[in-house]
Amino acid sequence: MDKVQKGQDFSIYRKGAVHIRSMRSIHTSNTEIIHIIISWLAISYAFAILLLWSRSGTRPSSDELFNGIFNPLVISLFTVGISFIIHEMSHKIVAQRFGSWAEFRMSPIMLLLMLVLVYQLGILFAAPGAVMIYGGNVGRRENGRISLAGPLSNLILGMAFFLPVI
């Protein structure tokens, strides 16, 4: 074991093969950012297709997706996309608060399945990936809080944007 020196920073410690830092900030990686962006674009595209399916009742053409300034894709990028990011980051932040390594990872197979189903059948199964969690002080109670963070963020967003409409 290393000797302890006066003034040494104990905010970094080793747990298994993963380095965990104190939660003065939220930690991420380039891989996570790329996975979030790809998933954001894919889920927004899928919801745009679903929106067009619901309007016409038939498979939409690519012209319909990009028609006009308020096209379904732009609307989906800002509504569904931002909601998706807040949902996933809520899981991540809570997990990191419990001292775990947590990052979003997309599932290429689920992304492809989502796009094929929504385009071919008008059925949306939105599961583009998940926040992967490793280490930390996570028992049943903490795992429940991590799991609840995403849906709770969606509920808060829904109330924030729905209540002013009433």
Q: Looking at the annotation, which residues are catalytic?
A: 88
Give the SS3 label for residue 23: coil
What does DSSP say about strands 101-106 and 12-15: parallel, antiparallel, or unpaired? Answer: unpaired
Nearest Cα to Cα of residue 43 among 103, 123, 124? 124
Closest CA to 47 of 83, 11, 96: 83
Q: What's the start-to-end Cα distance of the chain, in Å?
A: 62
